[in-house]
Amino acid sequence: MRHIDVQQMADHARFNRFHGLVLLWCALIIVFDGYDLAVVGIALPSIMKDLGVDPTQAGFMVSAALFGMMFGAIFLGAVADRIGRRWAITICILLFSLFTAAAGLTHDPLLFAGSRFLAGLGIGGVMPNVVAHMTEYAPRKMRATLVTLMFSGYAVGGILAALLGKGLIEAYGWPSVFFAAALPVLLIPLLLKSLPESMAFLTAQGRHEEVKRIAARIDPSYEPQASDQIAVSSQTVAHASAPTRQLFSQGRGFSTVMLWVAFFMCLFMVYALSSWLTRLMAGAGYSLGSALTFVLVLNAGAIAGAIGGGWLADRFHIKRVLAAMYALAAVSVSLLGFAMPQALLFLVVALAGASTIGTQIVANAYTGQFYPMPIRSTGLGFALGMGRSGAILAPIMIGVLVSWQLPLQHNFFAIGIPGLIGMVAVLLVDDSKSASAQPEAPGNTPAMATDRPVAVPAGRH
């Protein structure tokens, strides 16, 4: 009789086509998610003109989606640990695709905000689930790289929104870029067929034959046998119940709060720039086309920051890399308010994208590794959910500052200062409490042991 630890098998596996399939699906979902989130910032000047709203009202309209994202990240992240990630992800795609498209049909600020709130539930809920999914299946030695590579799809979605926005808004009006958001619904049947379910969820449900089939795809050298007993690492199975309370158990409480603070600060910067960069640059004298170019550069920088940050995190200490990225964000964003040659300005915008959006992506990877597997979606969901309060505050606060007609640099100082606070919060996280810092269970191999008991809770054999 063999006892198969599927999480250790995943940790020590070599990257293969199966991992590529999981990466492709998770990245594609994040591209859709990034498009739906960025589309409002792209269309904001046109929306304000068409609906006749001032900057303060526009800030509240943008924040409606972010308010929905807070609830979506908390509840749909936690729900996934109970109904499975595939169905949670499917629900999220339906929400953010259909209700983003519905926002394009509205011409009333309140109806627009309501549609964006419902879309925000899906936008916020999908992020912790795909990060947890990629973290579960990624080999340990390249986990941060794969998670950040996947999450660079967020910036690709922003670039796609900016590219489509240039042509569609001028030709068909701002609603057209919202209607395009409904297309991902067509891919849901294929996603349900080909994306594997969480092994932790299947094991908890007693669906061991499905886990064996997945394990054979993770490690082609593994040949399932009827007598094999399947489990996840004993250190993580013990936490499968009451996932929310477990965020504060075993000395994780203070670090959990610090992660929430760090997410608040980073998401404040990300959504302040996503919502107002086009408008601020247009107000500084740039044409709409030039202002949209800054969005393209911002998201291109985000891709470089995410991939580069992930690469550095797998080779150096991810916590120190993340803290340095927060510090770079504070500096680069603050510099955006000062006059400089256009070529240098593009460079600074790219650095701002790398160190805000890119930092959030690395922070997702860091947090995904901090929590044990059965509470990973919950932990990341709560971090994103609590951080959404920063995302909600950002468009409103910057909208008020814009309405005051303050000097441009004051607006960017307000966006950049949270980077310093986020850096301090990251440095205060206690890595000794991280799941990735715990010793592996002893055994004959990293994944398999023979005639040795495995800690599996009662009722889950």
Kindly state the tokens that stand for 113: 């905000």
**Rounded CA gap, 274 and 390, in Å?**
13
- Look at residue 242 and tell me whether its pLDDT is greater than 80: no
Nearest to 149 by CA among 326, 27, 21, 10: 27
Task: Give CA angle at 113 (112, 117), nearest 5°.
Answer: 120
pLDDT, position 445:
43
Q: C-alpha dihedral over 51, 292, 183, 187, to 10 degrees?
A: -140
Q: Put the strands of the sheet holding 2-5 in their side by side order.
A: 229-231, 2-5, 448-450
Query: For residue 439, with 0-12 CB atoms within 10 Å meaning exposed, 13-18 middle and 19 or more buried, which class applies?
Result: exposed
Which residue carries 């905000």 as its tokens? 113
Tell me the pairing of strands 229-231 and 448-450.
unpaired
Nearest to 383 by CA among 269, 201, 244: 244
Exposed e or buried b per residue across 401-417, where buried means at least 16 C-beta atoms within 10 angstroms of its C-beta: bbeeeeebeebbbbbbb
Nearest to 124 by CA among 184, 73, 66, 78: 73
Kindly state the tokens that stand for 263: 């997410």
- Give every CB contact of residue 275 below 8 A, 6+ residues apart in sequence: 40, 41, 44, 59, 62, 394, 395, 398
Tell me the pairing of strands 448-450 and 2-5.
antiparallel
**Rounded CA gap, 295 and 157, in Å?**
11
Per residue in 93-116, pLDDT (tens digit) is: 999 999 999 998 988 889 999 999
Q: What letter would DSSP give residue 3?
A: E
pLDDT averaged over the chain? 81
Per residue in 269-293, pLDDT (tens digit) is: 988 887 777 777 766 666 656 667 8
Kindly state the tokens that stand for 382: 């709560």
- Look at residue 461 and tell me whether its pLDDT is greater than 50: no
Kindly state the tokens that stand for 387: 């951080």
pTM over 0.85: no
User: Residue 88: what residue type?
Assistant: A
**Better pLDDT: 165 or 236:** 165
- CB count in 10 Å sphere of residue 451: 8
pLDDT, position 381:
77
pLDDT, position 322:
93
Going through 229-335 in order, the beta strands assigned E by DSSP cover 229-231
User: Residue 456: what residue type?
Assistant: V
Q: C-alpha dihedral over 373, 91, 145, 137, to 10 degrees?
A: 40
pLDDT, position 419:
94
Per residue in 393-445, pLDDT (tens digit) is: 887 888 888 778 777 788 888 899 999 999 999 999 988 777 665 554 444 44
448 beta partners: 4
Do the Cβ atoms of 288 and 282 come closer than 8 Å? Answer: yes
Per residue in 177-207, pLDDT (tens digit) is: 899 889 999 999 999 999 999 888 888 788 8
